[in-house]
A and B are shown apart, each in its own frame.
Chain A
Amino acid sequence: MKRIASLILPAKLEHLPAFIATVTGAAESGRVAPKKVFNVELALEEALVNIMNYAYEGKAGDIEVVCRSDNREWFVVEIIDSGKAFDVTSVPPPDLTTDLSDRKVGGLGLLFIKRLIDGAVYRREGEKNVLELRISLNS
């Protein structure tokens, strides 16, 4: 797989637009369909904001994103942090059937990652969390 783009910046909300611009730009040049670029953007924001808010528990740390494409089947984004171990793919989806009074305000971000991305795979690599988002170029 050819590496298209990568970016390392502190895990701070102010850097969210830079991460988004890097990955959506890579998705476009990596032949991801325009409608799917929206999905990538949303899933990416949710994954990044989760790391920014929770992974480093108030301490400083970085996030690295790496984008790859084989130009035939898959565009892949890896999101890497060195915060506490957390498998975002293991979180159960929120209950979407409750009425307004009982509806919980959290959990939707993780639902978007699962629903909008063709494959979300988590692995712990040494002291790092790696979330791999796989986007099909053909579906």
Chain B
Amino acid sequence: MQFDSKRNNGVTIVSVKGRMDAVTTPEIDGKLTGLIDGGERRLVVDLAGLDYISSAGLRSLLATAKRLKAEQGDMVFANLEGHVTEVFKISGFYALFKVYASVDVALGQLGK
């Protein structure tokens, strides 16, 4: 698992690579919580290179999004790949979240 974040004009771009399963998600969840605790309110989550996600990963993303919404923030996704795309579909996450083809498109759309 690899987690990176960088700021771009008031938006935080988070990159998660590898796996978001029951073993790896607590660490990722802690980092997401840390970003919000640090005042970040607008997140683009770049899932390029995320090979696998289970309900543990989805729960963390959902909890993060709920918290951001409560704080008048927003979270969108970019670059979903094969297995992750299918899991988002089955879970109804496409109806809950905005999903974009690239980080650049997401940055252009965030908050509109």
Interface residues of A (CB under 8 A from B): 13-14, 16-17, 38, 41-42, 45-46, 49, 96-97, 99-101, 103, 105-106, 108-109, 111-112, 115-116
Bound-complex Cα distance A122 to B52 (A): 26
Contact: A112 with B23, CB < 8 Å?
no
Contact: A45 with B95, CB < 8 Å?
no
Bound-complex Cα distance A106 to B91 (A): 11
Residues of A contacting B92 with CB < 8 Å?
96-97
Contact: A13 with B23, CB < 8 Å?
yes
Contact: A17 with B23, CB < 8 Å?
yes
Contact of A49 with B95 at beta-carbon distance under 8 Å, contacts A13-B23, A38-B83, A42-B87 already known: no
Contact: B96 with A111, CB < 8 Å?
no
Bound-complex Cα distance A112 to B88 (A): 11
The 8 Å CB contact of A96, one of B56, B59, B87, B91, is: B91
Bound-complex Cα distance A13 to B21 (A): 11
Interface residues of B (CB under 8 A from A): 21-23, 52, 54-56, 58-59, 62-63, 65-66, 69, 83, 87, 90-92, 95-97
Bound-complex Cα distance A13 to B22 (A): 8
Contact: B55 with A112, CB < 8 Å?
yes
Contact: B90 with A112, CB < 8 Å?
yes
Contact: A49 with B52, CB < 8 Å?
no
Contact of A103 with B62 at beta-carbon distance under 8 Å, contacts A49-B56, A96-B95, A97-B95 already known: yes
Contact: A101 with B91, CB < 8 Å?
no
A3 to chain B, nearest CB (A): 27
Contact of A109 with B54 at beta-carbon distance under 8 Å, contacts A96-B95, A103-B96 already known: yes
Q: Output the nearest chain B residue to A49 by Cβ-Cβ distance.
A: B22
Contact of A105 with B91 at beta-carbon distance under 8 Å, contacts A42-B54, A112-B55 already known: no
Q: Output the nearest chain A residue to B83 by Cβ-Cβ distance.
A: A38
A44 to chain B, nearest CB (A): 10
Residues of A contacting B63 with CB < 8 Å?
105
Contact: A41 with B66, CB < 8 Å?
no
Residues of A contacting B55 with CB < 8 Å?
46, 108-109, 112
Q: Output the nearest chain B residue to A15 by Cβ-Cβ distance.
A: B23
Contact: B59 with A105, CB < 8 Å?
yes
Which of A101, A106, A109: most chain B CB closer than 10 A? Answer: A109
Contact: B21 with A45, CB < 8 Å?
yes
Contact: B90 with A111, CB < 8 Å?
yes
